[in-house]
Structure 1
Amino acid sequence: MSHACHDHDHSHHGNSPAYRRVLWVALVLNAAMAVVELTAGSLAGSLALWADSADFIADAANYAISLAVLASSLTLRARVAWVKGAAMGLIGAAVLARAAWASFHGEPPQAFTMGAVGVAALAANVIVALMLYAWREGDANMRAVWLCSRNDALGNIAVVAAAAAVAWTGTAWPDLAVAAVMAVLALSSARVVMRHASDELRTAAAPAP
C-alpha cells in the first residue's frame, strides 16, 4: 500500500501536492489502458473489454477535470462531480444497451486476449485505487474519483473471471454478463455521486446562519 494510504493529515485536502501527483499518475495510466483495451476489445470481440475501455476513457477525463478544478469553490467542484456522475450513468446505460444487442448477434470473444488484457488492466487499476484510498471520504468530486478507481478494479476481476468462463464454455454469455454487471455498477455509483453532489450544492446555496 502506498504512503498516501497512511497519511491522514491530507486525507480531505483535495488541493494538496500529494493528491495532484496521484491524479497525474492516474490520468496517465488510465489514458494508456484506454488505448490498450479499446484495441484489444475490438480485436478480441469482447464487450467486457469494450466497456472497460470506455470506462478508462471516462476516468482519464475525470482525472483531467479534477486536476483543473482542485482549487475551485465547493460549488464548482460539486457541479463538476454531478456532471461526472451523469457521465458514469450514461456509460452504464450504453453498455446495457450494447449487451442486449450482442445477446442476439454477438459471437464468443477470444478468451486468451480478453484474460491477458484484463490482468493488465486490473494491475493498473489496483495501483490507482491504492494511491487514491486516503482521499476516498473527501468532497463529492474526490469521492467520484475514488469510486471510479474502485469500480474499475472490481470490474477487471470480473473480466478475468469471464475470460476463463468463455474459454470453458465456448460461449459469449460470460462476457455479456460481466459487461451488464459493470454497467449496473456504473449506474449505482452515478446515483451515489450525483446525490452527494446535489447535497453539497444545496449546502452551498443555503443562507449562512
Structure 2
Amino acid sequence: MSGHCCSHETVFDGTSTAFRRALIAVIAINAALFLIEMTAGQLAGSKALQADALDFAGDTATYAISLLVIGRPLLWRARAAFLKGLSLAAMGLWVLASTAWQVLVLGVPSAGVMSVVGLLALAANVASVLILMRWRDGDANVRSVWLCSRNDAIGNVAVIGAAALVFATGTAWPDLAVATLMAGLFLSSAVQIVRRSLSEMAEGTSADGAGHRHARTQP
C-alpha cells in the first residue's frame, strides 16, 4: 500500500467540508484516548500501552496540522506532511529507547489493564479508520492521516495479543516485543510520508517558480 501516484494525476487535497468534519471527529477521539491510555500504561507498567498512547498523541497533532493546512498551496501541505513524518520517526526512536530501558529494569506489566485499555483503544481506532476510509488515498497531507489511523488499529491488536502472552508467560518480553514492532511501524510510515512530501515539495517549488516567472513577464 505505497500510495504513490503519478505527479500528473489530480489527487484529493482535503478541501471538502466532509473531510474537515471527519478530522475534527478523530482529533477528539485521539486526544481522549491518549490521556486514557498513557495513564493506564503508567499504572500498568506497560511499554506497549505507552507506545500506543504516544501514537495517539502523534495522531492528534497530525490531524490538527492537517486541518490547518487544508486549502493551502501544495508546498505548504507538503512541508506540513514532512514535519509530521519527522515527528513520527522521532516517536519510533523514543519507543525503541524506552523499550531498551524497560529491558534493563525487567518490570512485568499488568496483563489485565493492558487487555481492557487495549480493547477500548481498538474500538476508538476502528471508528477513526471507518470515518477516514473514503479519504485513504490523497496527497501527502491526507495520506499521513490515513497511515496514522492504520498504525493505531494495528498497534491496538498487537497490544491485546501482547497482554495475552504476558499473562501466559508471566514475563515482560511479549510487551517489549510488541513495543519494538510498533516502533518499526512508526519508522516505516515516517519514511513513506517523508518520501512523498519531498516529492510534493519539489513539485510545489517548481510550480511556485513557474508562477513567479510568469508574473514577471506580464506587462
TM-score, scaled relative to structure 1: 0.92
In 1: Cα distance, 2:79 partner to 2:129 partner = 23
Query: What letter matches 1:187 in structure 2?
Result: L
Query: What letter matches 1:36 in structure 2?
Result: I
Deviation of 1:151 (Å): 0.6
Q: Does structure 1 residue 66 correspond to structure 2 residue 62?
A: no
Moved >2 Å (runs of 4+): 206-209
Q: Does structure 1 residue 16 correspond to structure 2 residue 37?
A: no
Q: Does structure 1 residue 52 correspond to structure 2 residue 70?
A: no
Q: Report if aligned partners of 2:89, 2:186 keep a CA contact under 8 Å in 1.
A: yes
Cα deviation code 1:63-108 (max 9, x no counterpart): 1111111121111010000000000000000100111111121311
Deviation of 1:165 (Å): 0.3
How many residue pairs were aligned?
199
Deviation of 1:208 (Å): 4.5
Q: Report if aligned partners of 2:37, 2:53 keep a CA contact under 8 Å in 1.
A: yes
Q: Which residue of 2 aligns with 1:121?
A: 121
In 1: Cα distance, 2:42 partner to 2:80 partner = 31
Aligned residues: CA RMSD: 1.3
Q: Report if aligned partners of 2:137, 2:143 keep a CA contact under 8 Å in 1.
A: yes
Query: What letter matches 2:86 in structure 1?
Result: A
Deviation of 1:13 (Å): 4.7
Cα deviation code 1:16-67 (max 9, x no counterpart): 0100110011000000000000110000000001111111111111111111
Q: Report if aligned partners of 2:34, 2:54 keep a CA contact under 8 Å in 1.
A: yes
Q: Which residue of 1 aligns with 2:159?
A: 159
Percent identity over the alignment is 51
Change (3 A) 1:13 1:139: closer
Q: Does structure 1 residue 88 correspond to structure 2 residue 88?
A: yes
Q: Which residue of 1 aligns with 2:107?
A: 107
Query: What letter matches 1:199 in structure 2?
Result: S
Which ranges in structure 1 are unaligned for 5 or more consecutive residues? 1-10
In 2: Cα distance, 1:151 partner to 1:187 partner = 11
Query: What letter matches 1:40 in structure 2?
Result: A
In 2: Cα distance, 1:191 partner to 1:101 partner = 25
In 2: Cα distance, 1:119 partner to 1:79 partner = 35
Larger mean Cα displacement after TM superposition, 90-99 or 13-22: 13-22
In 2: Cα distance, 1:19 partner to 1:163 partner = 35
Q: Does structure 1 residue 97 correspond to structure 2 residue 135?
A: no
Query: What letter matches 2:146 in structure 1?
Result: W
Aligned partner of residue 187 in structure 1, secondary structure: helix
In 2: Cα distance, 1:102 partner to 1:109 partner = 10
Cα deviation code 1:130-152 (max 9, x no counterpart): 11111111000000000000011
